[in-house]
Amino acid sequence: MEVQITSENFESLKTGNLPLVVDFWATWCGPCRMMAPIIEELANEYDGKVVVGKCDVEECEELAAEFGIRNIPTILFFKDGDVVDKIVGAQPKAKLIEKINTLL
């Protein structure tokens, strides 16, 4: 299951032992709702290899601002604490798998 990313747990997840994938989203966003099942599937498929989480931009405005999130969904890919890739907008699952595999 995907992790709920908050201001409280973000830093520890970002600097943890596993790569981190963060889906910045909002409840009112149609494309975000389209991506939700894909994000959940990826969280299950990569369990133990990659941390996959969701960050609600309305609950964590400071994180969204820190990473310059202007459009949602935006998915950031972190490795060793740094952003190494980014996808903006709804994307097919295969595209996300391709990006995640580069983290491993």
Distance separating alpha carbons of residues 59 and 86, to the nearest angstrom: 21
Distance separating alpha carbons of residues 58 and 82, to the nearest angstrom: 23
Q: Among 21, 22, 32, 72, which one carries the catalytic annotation?
A: 32
Active site residue 29: yes
Residue from 34, 47, 35, 32 nearest 2 by CA: 47
Q: Among 13, 29, 87, 90, which one carries the catalytic annotation?
A: 29
Query: Which residues carry out catalysis?
Result: 29, 32
